[in-house]
Amino acid sequence: MTYQPSNDRYQHMQYRRCGNSGLKLSAFSLGLWHNFGYTDLFENSRAIIHTAFDHGITHFDLANNYGPPPGAAEEHFGKILSNDLAAYRDELIISTKAGYTMWEGPYGDWGSKKYLVASLNQSLERLGLEYVDIFYHHRPDPETPLEETMQALDLIVRQGKALYAGISNYRPEQAAKAIQILRELGTPCVIHQPKYSMFERWVEDGLLDLLGKEGVGCIPFSPLAQGLLTDKYLDGIPTDSRVARSGVFLKESHITPEKVAKVRQLNELAQRRGQRLSHMALAWILRDSRVTSVLIGASKPAQVTDSIAALQHTSFTDEELAAINRILAG
């Protein structure tokens, strides 16, 4: 059956300008980090993407190493794009990244021009595209000169293989240098993708201020701390949870009594606000005007629509923000 997206897909989603650029992103973007590899059901992955687009999510975020195995998420998304979304390509923002290990040898990792150009060529082939909308350097390289890495991003944009350049996982000092180099090259950095949640707040120590000052967008990942900022773990570890299934990124050892106590207090505050904890955690990030979009993940379509419900209540009183800070500091 031919996929037909919802006619009212743009009626209820918010769209935010990405820094000082002409680019706008949906308030929520769908990350394909998990649940889109060979070990996942293809039709479920397809249904998740359909549901996201039906509800106004136009940004789909990938990386060369997403899977498993690495490259699988791009392959699966490429098939879905070709079969279902080709007619809507110009409505979509598709991003990918390179910076983690992809192949053996000295040219399959980090931030050399050789690796970044070769990796994007491979990504475009898997995706079945001539260009992506955003190409990121996925993490800083301690050995390659930052000038070379940024020159690679500049080259890629000038070649027309990406429309915009971005960085991910860069600390404030590193980000400031990268932004300056790209500006001097004439290909501005339009977006930064850091890890940010109530439990991971390092971006508040200078990065958000930098991005606001420089006119660069911000798109946090892991906003729910891999599921910890939900009501899922209040009464133990469910058998169908990410911890029980893999325990790779969120481990059982992370779910300490102290963390659970904080989650319980946050959950009570969310209930007083008339929200679920996950909705409050997402709204808490979106409250900041320097945040362009928030990356959400999903293992089933219903999780996409559930996350979008956070847009119904994104304002906080000073008392609520103070209460959140007290809970997190306790």
Tell me, what's the pLDDT at 244? 45
Cβ atoms within 10 Å, residue 206 = 14
In CATH terms, the fold of domain 15-227+279-313 is: TIM Barrel (3.20.20)
* pTM, two decimal places: 0.94
- Over residues 13-25, mean pLDDT: 98
Rounded Cα gap, residues 97 and 165, in angstroms? 10
pLDDT band for 251, please (50, 70, 90 cuts): low
241 pLDDT higher than 70:
no
Cβ atoms within 10 Å, residue 256 = 10
Strand partners, 59: 93
Q: Is 137 helix (H, G, I), strand (E, B) or coil?
A: strand
250 pLDDT higher than 70:
no
From edge to edge, which strands make up the β-sheet containing 294-296? 217-218, 189-193, 162-168, 132-137, 93-98, 59-61, 28-31, 294-296
Alpha-carbon torsion (170, 144, 120, 126), positive or negative: negative
238 pLDDT higher than 60:
no
Question: Which own/partner pairs from 254-263 qualify as long-range (CB within 8 Å, at least 24 positions apart)?
Answer: 254/228, 255/228, 259/199, 259/228, 260/233, 260/234, 262/327, 262/328, 262/330, 263/228, 263/229, 263/231, 263/233, 263/234
Rounded Cα gap, residues 3 and 5, in angstroms? 6
What are the extents of the domains in the chain? 15-227+279-313
126 pLDDT higher than 50:
yes
Backbone angles phi, psi at 95, to 5 degrees: -120, 150
Rounded Cα gap, residues 112 and 155, in angstroms? 12
Backbone angles phi, psi at 213, to 5 degrees: -65, -40
Tell me, what's the pLDDT at 255? 81
235 pLDDT higher than 80:
no
233 pLDDT higher than 70:
yes
Rounded Cα gap, residues 39 and 216, in angstroms? 36
Tell me, what's the pLDDT at 173? 98
192 pLDDT higher than 60:
yes
Higher local confidence (pLDDT), 239 or 138: 138
Per-residue pLDDT reduced to its tens digit, 44-68: 999 999 999 999 999 999 999 999 9
